[in-house]
Structure 1
Amino acid sequence: MSAPRPRSRIQQKNRELILDAALEVFSLHGFRGATLDQIAEGAGLSKPNLLYYFPSKEEVHTALLTGLLDTWLDPLRAMNPSGDPLQEILGYVRRKLDLARDFPRESRLFANEILQGAPRMRAAIEGDLRRLVEEKAVVLTRWMETGRIARVDPVHLIFSIWALTQHYADFDVQVRAVLGPGHDPFAEAGRFIETVFTRLLDPIHENLTDIATEKPLLLR
């Protein structure tokens, strides 16, 4: 079988226009609410022209999600098992918050897909995503067992990082409405979230509570 012919510059540009327009439409309306007509209009192309590149709405959506997964996994991949544990975790927090700030449409696209039961991403999240989380959970557990960070459930630690960082993209309107003008949500969030995880993971204070085994809080 012969290799596929490389795309021309015009073809590549049109694909990028379509995917960017689709990202806007899907992030606003979700998969069910989005239409090919909306995407074509956003891309400045006719619907037949769009269908030349992507034969269905599902094909456009899948192309977006496929590219998005690597973007979402890269910050966790960058956690270095040989680095300082707290700094590696805080670095991951910062990278996830940067993603929320710089790629809010992508974050909402991912959230919409998950809320619908991940019909087009289930294989990926049960495969690549799960394997990466399991791999990093082993690293986190090793740091905990050697006393370098406090003992907590490593997988739920990762979940909490996702929740605290992606909130600022998925609920941007709410965040800005509550804070009011004159605030930088991401700068303020960065300082707050780093404080939360620094205190949570400080092994010096671990005897106050054992979250991993759900022992009651011991007050001094």
Structure 2
Amino acid sequence: MNKAQAKTRIQKRNVAIIAEAALEVFSAHGFRGATVDQIAKEAGLSKPNLLYYFPSKEAIHSHLMASLMDIWLDPLRELDADGEPLGEILGYVRRKLELSRNHPRESRLFANEIVQGAPRMQAMLEGELKELVDEKAAVIRGWMDTSRLLPADPHHLIFSIWSLTQHYADFDVQVRAVLGPEVPDPFPAAGSYLETLFTRLLKA
């Protein structure tokens, strides 16, 4: 192990530590409410050490959002044009719900950015996200045009899946307050409900 290799591993580790700390701070306070000092404290690093890796709060946020976009798009990328249509839609619903279960902070961070008008990720929304959604909407429209699914607007179908699955991350406190302590995990019932909902909407 030479020094250059060790330094590279340390750098990668510290970047990961900073990203994890930033996710915690940004998801709790939003971009405007977060500070470099808060992120450095959460990361257990000095502010100068953090600024060695990222020159500004904006740079940290950009790094985090680029990583988040990959996490966000992967479930939709898996929708297979050659698969069984209803099964593919329900599989996408399950993957998005699982994303809300496993990555609630990422979901809240994404929601905060959108609510603020997406000033730091507009290019990603209009580029990579739009291209993928348009591609998969065309696949869904093809299934509907050949009567393999009941007709619906494909783009609004995708929006509905986002809304109904991400709700369980973005409004977790509200969901758990309403369901009460007798329902410690809302996700199994949510999955069954959403599967029934989209089956009834789309099954030909």
Q: Which residue of 1 aligns with 2:132?
A: 132
- Taking the aligned partners of 2:142 and 2:18, their CA distance within structure 1 comes to 45
Gaps of 5+ in 2: none
- Larger RCO, structure (CA 8 Å, separation 6 or more): 2
Q: TM-score, normalised by structure 2?
A: 0.95
Q: For residue 25 of structure 1, what is the amino acid of its counterpart?
A: V
CA shift at 1:182, angstroms?
2.8
CA shift at 1:24, angstroms?
0.3
Q: TM-score, normalised by structure 1?
A: 0.89
Q: Which residue of 1 aligns with 2:53?
A: 53
Greater percentage in helix: 2
Q: For residue 195 of structure 1, what is the amino acid of its counterpart?
A: T
Identity of aligned residues (%): 67
* Alignment pair present for 1:191 and 2:192: yes
1:46-195 mapped onto 2 (5 Å cutoff): 46-183=46-183, 184-195=185-196
Q: For residue 38 of structure 1, what is the amino acid of its counterpart?
A: Q
CA shift at 1:187, angstroms?
0.8
* Structure whose alpha-carbon radius of gyration is higher: 1
- Taking the aligned partners of 2:199 and 2:57, their CA distance within structure 1 comes to 44
1:8 counterpart SS class: helix
- Taking the aligned partners of 2:115 and 2:11, their CA distance within structure 1 comes to 33
Q: Which residue of 2 aligns with 1:22?
A: 22
Q: CA RMSD in A?
A: 1.0
* Alignment pair present for 1:202 and 2:203: yes
2:42 counterpart SS class: helix
Question: CA-to-partner distance for each residue in 1:21-55, whole Å, 9 max, x for gaps?
Answer: 10000000000000011000000000011000000
User: Would you say how many aligned residue pairs link Structure 1 and Structure 2?
Assistant: 199
2:173 counterpart SS class: helix
Q: Which residue of 2 aligns with 1:218?
A: none
- Taking the aligned partners of 2:69 and 2:182, their CA distance within structure 1 comes to 33
